Structure 1
């Protein structure tokens, strides 16, 4: 990520884009009370600096009901964090990977479409050198 000093307007712009990644420049300018040119310039800088990596969609949970979701807590051995992260990024069903504090070193979010696929992901993760222990919980419903 390129060096760029982020200010309140950048934070507000990112916040609006998190709500609606398809918001128009006109809408963002009106909402944030700045000119369209200012929004366009800020957006261009946020993208070119690497602060904004891309735009995505969020789907309604009703459309995502067939997805098996889980959280995996992972304990690593020694100094293997970078190596484990590299290997785990190669598993597409691990949709997010987080570092954390406490007894566990990493938290992985898993999304699969079948239980056999889920089982395969667990097998792949267990084969990664540097993982000492893991605990996985299926996410049954969102409240």
Structure 2
């Protein structure tokens, strides 16, 4: 699907505040409300916009976060991913190139829960090795 400059400006405004009313979006873009609504419908229908999300403040998020770099055995990705999906502390899994095959993002309420999750990842069938990075402070967060 082709996106033009107006679509990109609309997406940027939604990135700042996904709850911005269509009338406000239209005013900021200098377009009719119906035009903006039609663009939103098209962007949603074509899968450019997959949904609208809630960003929790630090006081509402689990206090402990970590990134785990995981190296897996060849052809073991489905089994490893199944194991990762079963762990409630796992928030995201990305495949990657380089020394590691997966980047796993964790969130936990306690150090015990985080430690147990790290152990379960390391013990999973198909995992060769893992390296854990505990997040200390967030200096920049532009994510949804």
TM-score band w.r.t. shorter chain? 0.7 to 0.9
Which whole-Å CA distance do the structure 1 matches of 2:86 and 2:16 have between them?
29
Q: What is the RMSD of the two structures over their aligned residues, measured on CA atoms? A: 2.1
Which whole-Å CA distance do the structure 2 matches of 1:25 and 1:137 have between them?
41
Q: How does the TM-score come out when normalised to structure 1?
A: 0.81
Corresponding residue SS for 1:41: helix
- Distance change (3 Å), C-alpha of 1:97 and 1:12: farther
List alignment gaps of at least 5 residues for structure 2.
140-144
- 1:100: which partner in 2? 96
- Distance change (3 Å), C-alpha of 1:88 and 1:9: farther
Corresponding residue SS for 2:55: coil
Aligned pairs, number: 139
- Distance change (3 Å), C-alpha of 1:104 and 1:57: same
Corresponding residue SS for 1:45: helix
Which whole-Å CA distance do the structure 1 matches of 2:137 and 2:8 have between them?
31
1:1-143 paired onto structure 2 within 5 Å: 4-61=1-58, 63-64=59-60, 67-143=63-139
- Distance change (3 Å), C-alpha of 1:6 and 1:129: farther
Residue by residue over 1:79-116, the C-alpha shift from the partner in whole angstroms, topping out at 9 and shown as x without a partner, is 33344334423333211222222211111111111112
Q: Give 1:140 deviation, angstroms.
A: 1.2
